[in-house]
Amino acid sequence: MSREHHYEVNVRWTGNTGAGTAKYLEYGRDHEVSAAGKPRLLGTADPAFLGTADRWNPEELLVASLSQCHMLTYLALCARDRIVVYSYEDNATGVMTEERGNSGRFAEVVLNPTVVITDLEQIDRATELHHQANQTCFIAKSVNFPVRHRPIVRAD
């Protein structure tokens, strides 16, 4: 049986400098992303597209979403396999290429999680679970580019 899950967010442009979008180079790309009961997220465009570096851009948020989804899926799989994870940190990267016609697309995202588990004998299984997490993650299954992973798993 399939179930549907619904998500609602509000995106509000805050970059009107007084003349709206009358001139491409003169309006701000700043915006706010919000959802009921959550703090506002301050967004903008990538600095390459006239945004500012001090706010989140959609490309960073896409990479973050993939990293978060993989982590949460992986932790659930480890818990089900009785693998105790003590720490998890990912330095994820994404590559987007611009194309003709003022467009572009992501070529890939690479997840680089470093995971610390409690049992040295479970390192192989804990490493294998990254592949399963990649195949199961809702967000990774929804994108049309490869999401690769290069995990490091160690026991302390």
> What is the per-residue pLDDT across 47-75, written as a single tens digit (0 to 9) for each?
999 999 999 999 999 999 999 999 999 99
Record the tokens describing residue 101, joined without a space. Answer: 């016609």
Task: Give the full edge-to-edge strand order of the sheet including 152-155.
Answer: 85-90, 113-117, 152-155
Confidence of residue 36 (pLDDT cuts 50, 70, 90): very high
- Tell me the CB-side half-sphere exposure of residue 154, using CA atoms within 13 A: 4
Position 4 scores a pLDDT of 92
Average pLDDT of span 28-33: 95
Average pLDDT of span 40-45: 96
Contact 110, 93 (CB under 8 A): yes
Contact 133, 153 (CB under 8 A): no
Is residue 45 over pLDDT 90?
Answer: yes
DSSP state of 121: G
- Whole-prediction pTM: 0.91
Question: 116: part of which helix (H) or strand (E)?
Answer: strand 113-117
Record the tokens describing residue 64, joined without a space. Answer: 């973050």
Q: Sign (positive/negative) of CA torsion 47, 53, 54, 60? A: positive
Position 120 scores a pLDDT of 96
Domains and CATH numbers, the chain: 10-49 (no CATH), 58-155 (3.30.300.20)
Average pLDDT of span 15-36: 93
The CA distance from 13 to 16, in Å, is: 7
Look at the block and give the residue holding tokens 């970059």: 15
Position 102 scores a pLDDT of 77
Alpha carbon of residue 120 to chain centroid: 29
Neighbours of 51 (CB within 10 A): 21
